[in-house]
Amino acid sequence: MTEIEWDDHIAVTPGGDGEFTADLTDGWVVGGGVNGGYLLATIGNALGQVAPGKPDPIAVSAYYLSASVPGPATISTRVLRDGGSVATLAADLKQGDDTRITVLATYGDLGRLPDDVRTTATPPPMAPLEECVPNTMAPPEVRKIARLMERFDMRFDPSCIGWAVGKPDGNGELKAWFRLNGERDPDPIELLMVCDALPPVSFDLGMPGWAPTLELTIHVRAKPAPGWLRVSHHTRNVAGGMFEEDCEVWDSADRLVAQSRQLARHPRV
């Protein structure tokens, strides 16, 4: 693993008329397909190149139509509106004749946003990094079906790790420290992946297994500071074979840099 692995994995090649090609790596496979956050970051990388001066995702909504597989993919982008400070963009990721994901997004320059912050949000309480449980302790059979775990260092808070030993807490909450291998510092595009990097929060409800995403919306609030991220997921409602997963991502400067909500099918459906 080198520091440029992530950049290689989300690389896209322009092909003209807003079209890009990508090679989806098998290093981000989990369960029955390629991780949705990695896919969204790859699309996000393409979108960051179509509106001059607006490289950063601000709001991204994705609908997952079918499971992606490793291999070639085409990303078709459209500029719906390019205003003074933000652009509204759209994209579809296809493999062959199959559309895998369709995206609507707002892009801008996070470095030009006002720096005032007024918030009641507070970082999630988490044990110190050295007291948390690393993902490298996962059993070999889990690592085999979740190859993406080799791509990053994730340290779970001990208060919500019971699911890993067959004793889920039932609170519908997961919390972990997160950093890409190679100690690569986070950026706005990476945050699109981080919001979908933890195991499904349904694991903490005693429902382990692949939970395919139906829809995922992410708000990127600021460029993250260098260093470790803290990620928390929780759910309050499992109904109709689906559950919501709310995520917050905090950076090393105690700033809330990303928020998301996704709707997914729970593993027993």
pLDDT in tens, 97-124: 999 999 999 999 999 988 788 889 999 9
How high is the mean pLDDT of the chain?
A: 92
pTM of the model: 0.94
Cα dihedral angle (41, 68, 36, 169), rounded to 10 degrees? -160
pLDDT in tens, 13-55: 999 999 999 999 999 998 778 999 999 999 999 999 999 999 9
Enumerate residues 6+ apart whose C-beta is below 8 A from 191.
Answer: 57, 218, 220, 224, 249, 257, 258
